[in-house]
């Protein structure tokens, strides 16, 4: 670990240039991304330190809720540093490195499955515990980990990682875990249904009350924060993603506890681990990548053992609670909401409001005093005491306590009436306390290596967008350049605002029509059909003259940069806590198609690289530093791809705009332009697979073009049901400016004409 470094210490963004390969070739057997410094602003680092210094539950909530800020990406890096930095002595670390050199998937599996057997033995009595309250407490405690399972794959597939074969295989698993485009069939929904079947009802992971309702221990929140941190930086920690993914599904803790069948069993994930270890044998960073992946396997095993032990401690604590202690817990839970409505009620010598409102409630003392209160004395007619009457239907406290709590209170009141002595008082649980303290200490001391502190506004800094190549490089590698996010946001907003000029003039577009119209589902479908027929299909006539090979190759080079980031606009939509809308599943399915649903041969990034190779364009990968110096793609066309990447980094706050952009780009795969390109490529014996793939998959009958219109309709239907027609029109304007921002780059001749013209010239 090291402290942040600054440019005046002799470090620059080119310090790791020698580690980048000069060119890129298929198959992409990448096992980790190029190392290098992490650009950060001083303000971002300060905020990240505040985030990680917060209580574990607050850290968890921030990591779930924010995927668009520099500070959270830096906080995630601090969390990963804390968990992944070995605390083993040098001698043990050397032994671990030696083990990594000789390890294969079968030997790793043997180690993990042996650990699974031990964990299963501890979980069995928890799963079959005779007391449903204890079972429920254990399941609620495990829920924050069960319901975040697999989140480390949410954004692994991105411009920086595709089309690496291991990423493709992991994306295939992600596709399956997400229900193959139907969230209700995916892993989180299956686990939630299993929890409900056992009486555990919790809000969504993204809800403010989620951890409170789960009763999450600090250890649970910290373990969850590790998973979430990995989901925020998966490209930078690819070896760790592989290791955690294998270990989590090989151990299958949640299926053992819930008694359900896994979506991915150990036999499904072992081949992936074997493939990864095989790739590391051919990689220049292979030994280190292998060590990192296997260390992550062992870390996840350690964490699952740790959490299982905490669950067992928690169950034992619940088993040992007396009725008095259980009542004290109920009092603690409701005291903050009791308030002033009990002004006339006294308990002992004090007003009830004094007991409950002083902020220093001693629940055990309250219960001791309550045992002697007149409200618990049996009625003269032999019926329930006044307190039990008050919580039944018609009583002044009816509905305050749930069914389980009411049953505990009734048992306790009866035991008091029967003269049973007081039980042991409430002692807080210490389950997982020591482990949580240790992780919190490591987090407080964590200092991620290689931080490069930069003023965003300095020349050449993250806010300097004048050098398109450098800006594009930062956007592709945003995990190492989180300081680029404010500039990306400003660039996206500026592009969207500028594109609104086509609201008035877009009808004159050659391939698009971004002119404004009020939304109805019928109006949208009419517009896209008119674009399809009038601008894309009907104008088609076969070319009678084919340009020279050089001209065709040059024209293809003007499209290539956009093709190399195919699908990127949608890669961060619908991740953990964001799969509640029909439009999320629909857009995720389109992105999955672009990525071949895990089949690398069908991945559009793979296909475009093959096409470029047929034209003798042997480009470095766009993630590589060497791409900054490539000479095949024209500089003046970077703006289109930069806009797309800027949008992609704000999938929550620019969600509407992404839906509109998606509509534009998916329709662009159709019609005369695509057919002409196929004709020209075929004439010169060049690869047409990329053009053919889009002409097929984007079809307007049922393909991506039609699906993209249906996505907008589905989203706005949900808006209408929740917020009414006025909200629909507000949301629609944002969607359409997303479409216009696509058209703005395609219709450059029209834009140039509009900008140059006087008002009189624009009469069409």
* Per-residue pLDDT tens over the stretch 167-183: 999 999 999 999 999 99
Distance CA 14, CA 677 (A): 38
- Of residues 80 and 631, the one with the higher pLDDT is 80
Per DSSP bridges, beta strands 451-453 and 38-40 are: parallel
- 114 and 203 share a domain? yes
- 445 and 350 share a domain? no
Where is 472: in which H helix or E strand? helix 468-476
Write out the two tokens for 314: 């928690």
Asked if residue 230 has pLDDT above 60, the reply is yes
- Of residues 35 and 441, the one with the higher pLDDT is 441
pLDDT category of residue 355 using cuts at 50, 70 and 90: confident
Q: What is the pLDDT of residues 404-455, one digit of tens each?
A: 899 999 999 999 999 999 999 889 999 999 999 999 999 999 999 999 999 9
Per-residue confidence (pLDDT) for residue 1, from 0 to 100? 36
Per-residue confidence (pLDDT) for residue 636, from 0 to 100? 83
Asked if 32 and 292 count as a contact pair (C-beta separation under 8 A), the reply is yes
- 236 and 372 share a domain? no
Asked if residue 55 has pLDDT above 60, the reply is yes
Q: What is the pLDDT of residues 677-716, one digit of tens each?
A: 999 999 999 999 999 888 878 777 778 999 999 999 999 9
Residue 250 resides in a domain: yes
Residue 646 resides in a domain: yes
Q: Where are the beta strands (DSSP E) in 480-632?
A: none
pLDDT category of residue 16 using cuts at 50, 70 and 90: very low
Q: Where are the alpha helices (DSSP H) in 9-159?
A: 42-53, 56-65, 70-84, 90-102, 105-127, 132-146
179-184: list long-range contacts, CB under 8 Å, 24+ apart.
179/585, 181/585, 181/586, 181/588, 181/589, 181/592, 182/585, 183/579, 183/580, 183/584, 183/585
Q: What is the mean pLDDT of residues 256-260?
A: 96
Q: What is the mean pLDDT of residues 463-490?
A: 96
3-state secondary structure of 324: helix
- 381 and 496 share a domain? no
Q: What is the mean pLDDT of residues 192-198?
A: 97
pLDDT category of residue 669 using cuts at 50, 70 and 90: confident
Query: What mean pLDDT, rounded, does the chain reach?
Result: 91
Number of domains in the chain: 3
Distance CA 178, CA 201 (A): 21
Residue 757 resides in a domain: yes
Of 558, 557, 548, residue with least CA distance to 684: 548
User: Which residues does residue 271 pair with via DSSP β-bridges, in sequence order?
Assistant: none
- 643 and 747 share a domain? yes
- 286 and 354 share a domain? no
- 497 and 447 share a domain? no
Phi first, then psi: what are they for 540, rounded to 5°? -70, 130
- 697 and 605 share a domain? yes
- 252 and 374 share a domain? no
- 221 and 327 share a domain? no
CA distances to 119, 191, 264, 323 from 137, in Å: 18, 16, 26, 16
pTM, whole model, 2 decimals? 0.93
CA distances to 41, 77, 222, 299, 626 from 14, in Å: 18, 21, 35, 33, 10
Lowest-confidence segment of 340-354, 471-485, 564-578 by average pLDDT? 340-354
Q: What is the mean pLDDT of residues 124-131?
A: 96
Q: What is the mean pLDDT of residues 331-340?
A: 76
Q: What is the mean pLDDT of residues 656-681?
A: 91
Q: What is the mean pLDDT of residues 326-348?
A: 77
Residue 423 resides in a domain: no
Produce one character per residue of 623-654: b if its CB has 16 or more CB atoms within 10 Å, e if not: bbbbbbebeebeeebbbbbbbbbbbbbbbeeb
Per-residue confidence (pLDDT) for residue 8, from 0 to 100? 39
Per-residue confidence (pLDDT) for residue 22, from 0 to 100? 52
Per-residue confidence (pLDDT) for residue 29, from 0 to 100? 96
Distance CA 763, CA 369 (A): 85
pLDDT category of residue 88 using cuts at 50, 70 and 90: low
Asked if residue 3 has pLDDT above 60, the reply is no
Lowest-confidence segment of 277-281, 330-334, 751-755 by average pLDDT? 330-334
pLDDT category of residue 97 using cuts at 50, 70 and 90: low
Residue 429 resides in a domain: no
What percent of the chain has a predicted confidence (pLDDT) above 70? 93
How far is C-alpha 195 from the geometric centre of its chain's CA atoms? 22
Q: What is the mean pLDDT of residues 55-82?
A: 98
Per-residue confidence (pLDDT) for residue 572, from 0 to 100? 95
Residue 665 resides in a domain: yes
Residue 717 resides in a domain: yes
Residue 1 resides in a domain: no
pLDDT category of residue 340 using cuts at 50, 70 and 90: low
pLDDT category of residue 14 using cuts at 50, 70 and 90: very low
- 252 and 398 share a domain? no
pLDDT category of residue 5 using cuts at 50, 70 and 90: very low
Asked if residue 89 has pLDDT above 70, the reply is no
- 543 and 401 share a domain? no
Q: What's 509's domain CATH number?
A: 1.20.910
Residue span of the structural domain in which 624 resides: 471-762
Per-residue confidence (pLDDT) for residue 94, from 0 to 100? 59
In order, the DSSP letters of 128-150 are T-S-HHHHHHHHHHHHHHHTTTT
Per-residue confidence (pLDDT) for residue 7, from 0 to 100? 38
């Amino acid at each position: 670990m090291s402290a942040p470094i600054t440019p005046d210490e002799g470090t620059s963004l080119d310090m790791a240039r020698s580690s980048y390969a000069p060119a890129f070739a298929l198959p992409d057997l990448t096992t980790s991304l190029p190392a290098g410094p992490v650009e950060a602003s001083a303000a971002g680092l300060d905020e990240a330190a505040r985030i990680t210094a917060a209580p574990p539950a607050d850290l968890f909530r921030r990591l779930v809720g924010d995927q668009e800020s520099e500070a959270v990406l830096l906080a995630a890096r601090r969390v990963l540093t804390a968990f992944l930095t070995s605390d083993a002595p040098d001698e043990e670390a050397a032994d671990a490195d030696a083990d990594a050199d000789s390890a294969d998937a079968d030997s790793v599996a043997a180690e993990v499955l042996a650990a699974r057997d031990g964990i299963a033995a501890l979980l069995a009595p928890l799963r079959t515990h005779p007391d449903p309250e204890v079972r429920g407490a254990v399941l609620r405690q495990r829920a924050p980990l069960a319901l975040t399972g697999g989140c480390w794959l949410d954004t692994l597939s991105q411009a920086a990682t595709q089309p690496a074969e291991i990423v493709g295989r992991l994306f295939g698993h992600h596709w399956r875990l997400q229900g193959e485009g139907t969230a209700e069939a995916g892993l989180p929904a299956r686990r939630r249904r299993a929890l409900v079947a056992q009486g555990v009802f919790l809000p969504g992971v993204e809800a403010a009350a989620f951890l409170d309702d789960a009763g999450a221990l600090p250890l649970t929140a910290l373990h969850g924060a590790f998973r979430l941190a990995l989901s925020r930086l998966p490209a930078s920690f690819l070896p760790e993603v592989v290791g955690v993914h294998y270990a989590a599904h090989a151990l299958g803790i949640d299926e053992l506890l819930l008694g359900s069948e896994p979506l991915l069993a150990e036999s499904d994930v072992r081949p992936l681990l074997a493939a990864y270890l095989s790739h590391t044998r051919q990689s220049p960073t292979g030994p280190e990548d292998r060590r990192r992946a296997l260390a992550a396997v062992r870390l996840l095993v350690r964490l699952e053992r740790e959490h299982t032990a905490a669950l067992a401690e928690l169950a034992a604590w619940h088993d040992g609670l007396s009725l008095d202690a259980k009542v004290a817990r109920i009092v603690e839970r409701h005291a903050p909401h009791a308030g002033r409505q009990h002004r006339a009620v006294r308990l002992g010598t004090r007003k009830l409001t004094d007991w409950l409102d002083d902020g220093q409630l001693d629940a055990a003392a309250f219960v001791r005093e309550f045992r002697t209160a007149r409200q618990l004395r049996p009625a003269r007619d032999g019926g329930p005491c006044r307190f039990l009457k008050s919580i039944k239907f018609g009583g002044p406290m009816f509905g305050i306590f749930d069914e389980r709590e009411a049953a505990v209170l009734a048992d306790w009141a009866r035991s008091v009436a029967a003269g049973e002595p007081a039980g042991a008082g409430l002692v807080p649980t210490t389950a997982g306390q020591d482990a949580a303290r240790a992780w919190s200490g490591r987090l407080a001391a964590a200092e991620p290596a290689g931080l490069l502190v930069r003023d965003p506004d300095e020349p050449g800094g993250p806010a300097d967008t004048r050098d398109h190549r450098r800006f594009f490089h930062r956007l592709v590698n945003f995990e190492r350049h989180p300081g680029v996010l404010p500039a990306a946001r400003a660039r996206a907003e500026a592009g969207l605002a500028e594109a609104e000029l086509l609201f008035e003039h877009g009808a004159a577009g050659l391939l698009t029509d971004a002119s404004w119209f009020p939304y109805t589902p019928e109006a949208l479908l009419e517009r896209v059909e008119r674009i399809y027929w009038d601008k894309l299909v009907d104008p088609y006539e076969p070319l009678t003259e084919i340009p020279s090979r050089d001209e065709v190759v040059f024209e293809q080079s003007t499209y290539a940069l956009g093709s190399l980031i195919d699908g990127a606009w949608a890669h961060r939509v619908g991740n953990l806590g964001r799969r509640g809308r029909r439009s999320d599943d629909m857009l995720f399915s389109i992105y999955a198609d672009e990525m071949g649903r895990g089949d690398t041969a069908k991945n559009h990034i793979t296909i475009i690289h093959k096409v470029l190779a047929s034209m003798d364009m042997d480009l470095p990968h766009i993630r590589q530093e060497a791409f900054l110096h490539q000479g095949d793609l024209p500089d003046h066309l970077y703006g289109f791809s930069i806009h797309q990447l800027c949008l992609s980094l704000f999938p929550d706050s620019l969600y509407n705009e992404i839906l509109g952009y998606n509509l534009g780009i998916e329709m662009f795969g159709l019609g005369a332009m695509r057919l002409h390109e196929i004709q020209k490529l075929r004439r010169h014996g060049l690869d047409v697979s990329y053009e053919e793939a889009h002409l097929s998959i984007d079809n307007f009958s049922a393909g991506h073009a039609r699906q993209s219109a249906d996505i907008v309709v589905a989203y706005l239907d949900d808006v209408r049901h929740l917020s009414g027609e006025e909200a629909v029109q507000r949301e629609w304007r944002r969607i359409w400016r997303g479409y216009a921002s696509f058209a703005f780059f395609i219709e450059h001749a029209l834009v140039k004409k509009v900008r140059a013209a006087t008002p009189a010239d624009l009469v069409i």
